[in-house]
Each structure stands twice: as C-alpha cells, then as structure tokens.
Amino acid sequence: MLPSPTSWRAAALALAVSLLPLAATPAVAQKKAPNGTKVLLLSGGQRQHHGYREQALYLAGALEDTGRYEVTIAEDAALLLTPAMAKYDLIVVNADRRDPEFKFTREQQEALLNWVRAGHGYVSIHGADNAAPDWVPAWRDMLGGVFTHVGLPDGKTRKGTYLIKIADTDHPITKGLSDFELKDELYYHMQMRPGVEPLATTEFDKTAWPVAWTRTYGQGRVFHTPLGHRDFGPKKDDPLANPNLLKLVIQGIDWVAAGKAGASPGSTGGAK
C-alpha cells in the first residue's frame, strides 16, 4: 500500500526541519585576500584533550573576515621543513605540542626559530607555550615566557573568571580596549625572561600575572598570550569568542604582521 498524501507531507516536513541547522550554519571555506597577509595557523596537539581544531577554525574565520588575511590551517609541523614556508608571512600556534604525535623535532624547532629570526612573525596562544623537555633554549628567548614543569618555577593552572587589566593603553595591540572579564584558564608561575613588559595582566593570589606581551626575535615580531583555553568537545566555551580577547588577539596579529620584513603598507589594517 502506498503512503497517504498526509504521510508524505509529514515526512517532507520532518526532513525540512532536520535540515534547518545545516542551513543556519555558514559553510567553512577559505576566503581570498590577494593583497593580505599570508598566515599559517598551526594547530594539532594531543587528541581529545583540547578543542584545538575547533578553535583554529574559529580564529581562521575571524581573521579572514577582516579582509586582511589569508589563512591556511595545518596540524603537521613537517611543513616547517619544506619550501612552502616561503609563502607565509607569519605563523599562529594555538596548541600544546608536547604529545608524541605532534611534538616538534629538533630540526623543526631550529627551522621555525630561524624563520622568525629572518623577519617572519610568530603568535603564541595558550598551550603553544607549553615547553617540552627537549625544547631548545632559544624558545624561551623568542616567547619571553613558557609554561613548563621542567625547572623552576613549576607552572600552575587555574580555571575561573578573571578581570583582565590593560597595563599598556598606548600600544597598538591594546587600542580600543579597557579592562574586561574573561572566563578562561590562567597560567601562573610561568618561567619568564627578564624584561618582559606586559600589555595586560590579571590578579590572582595577590599577584599580577602577565597575560599578553610582545617580543622581538631577530628581525621578527612575536605576540604571546597564555590566554585562550578551549576544552575538548562540542559546544565548549572558547575564550576567543569573548569579543575583547578576540580583539586583543587580532590586533596582536596585526602588530606582528606589520613588522614582517618587506610587509606591504596597509596590509594589516594600519598596525604600527
């Protein structure tokens, strides 16, 4: 027996309703910015540990929406040893890569450090500063501070809601920002290089901990924020969805891009 017209209509309605979430979700696709800065977003990290991949897609979309960036997402650091690196202006790393699958080899470390010294940019977000025991010492010079359990002080973490205080209101990275609240994971008791001047801090345990700063490494610029912890799993909070932190990170990337050797004027929205 054939289904009745009523049954057909009910089935069609059910199918249409089931497809609504797909229609409401924009497709994730690379956007063109022919004159924009070329960014390699290196994600990866221990599987089922953090939401690195989801965060990478979110940040790539936010950067490309500015019209100033073309973003390529990768997870395998073997790319660092290939001629393909010549086409990128800066690299953003958002993942803790101490896991054996994603760990930087000695050759990859040296290649990356040399690439930044030569005038390319580097941006470190949250777990990207988690120092493995075999990291070469130059990492600490480039990043200005690392989270690690190797040596002292021993790094500590604490999840909570923090008041992020803008310490340097004159820097291009903090332009238009004032103090804001953020739900995130704090890294504290990091191993810091002398002379790091924070752009932003947060207070915990009667201490102001740095949560954003810059470095110059060779001819390259570096922006580093230990903020940005996203747990693994669907619908988990991503601190980058906080418009204030996202603004801080994008303006940090703007600043890094503006310092790239041979950068074209205006390609990063006027960052100085």
Residue 22 domain-assigned (yes or no): no
Residue 264 domain-assigned (yes or no): no
Quote the pLDDT of residue 16.
Answer: 40
Q: Give yes or no for a contact between 237 and 230, defined as CB atoms under 8 angstroms apart.
A: yes
CATH number, residue 52: 3.40.50.880
Quote the pLDDT of residue 22.
Answer: 37
Quote the pLDDT of residue 271.
Answer: 35
Residue 49 domain-assigned (yes or no): yes
Quote the pLDDT of residue 5.
Answer: 46
| Residue for token pair 């980058």 | 240
Q: What is the DSSP string of 205-233?
A: TTEEEEEEEEEEETTEEEEEE-----BSS
Instruction: Kindly state the greatest CA–CA separation across the chain.
Output: 82
| Amino acid identity, position 117 | R
CA distance between the termini of the chain: 74
Quote the pLDDT of residue 261.
Answer: 57
- Higher-confidence residue of 207 and 24: namely 207
- The predicted-structure confidence for 106-138, as pLDDT tens digits, reads as follows 999 999 999 999 999 999 999 999 999 999 999
**What range defines the domain where residue 132 resides?**
33-258
Residue 51 domain-assigned (yes or no): yes
Quote the pLDDT of residue 10.
Answer: 46
- Higher-confidence residue of 6 and 245: namely 245
Quote the pLDDT of residue 23.
Answer: 36
Quote the pLDDT of residue 28.
Answer: 58
Nearest Cα neighbor of 116 from 145, 138, 135 is 138
- The predicted-structure confidence for 34-53, as pLDDT tens digits, reads as follows 889 999 999 987 776 776 78
- The predicted-structure confidence for 192-226, as pLDDT tens digits, reads as follows 999 999 999 999 999 999 999 999 999 999 999 99
Quote the pLDDT of residue 231.
Answer: 81
**What percentage of the chain exceeds 70 in pLDDT?**
84
**Statement: residue 272 has pLDDT above 70:** no
- The predicted-structure confidence for 44-90, as pLDDT tens digits, reads as follows 877 767 767 889 999 999 999 999 999 999 999 999 999 999 999 99
Residue 125 exposed, middle or buried by CB count within 10 Å (0-12, 13-18, 19+):
buried
**Cα distances (angstroms) measured from residue 141 to each of 8, 102, 107:** 67, 22, 18
Residue 163 domain-assigned (yes or no): yes
Residue 16 domain-assigned (yes or no): no
Residue 230 domain-assigned (yes or no): yes
Domain count, the chain: 1
Residue 12 domain-assigned (yes or no): no
- The predicted-structure confidence for 174-195, as pLDDT tens digits, reads as follows 999 999 999 999 999 999 999 9
HSE (side-chain half, CA atoms, 13 Å) at 188: 17
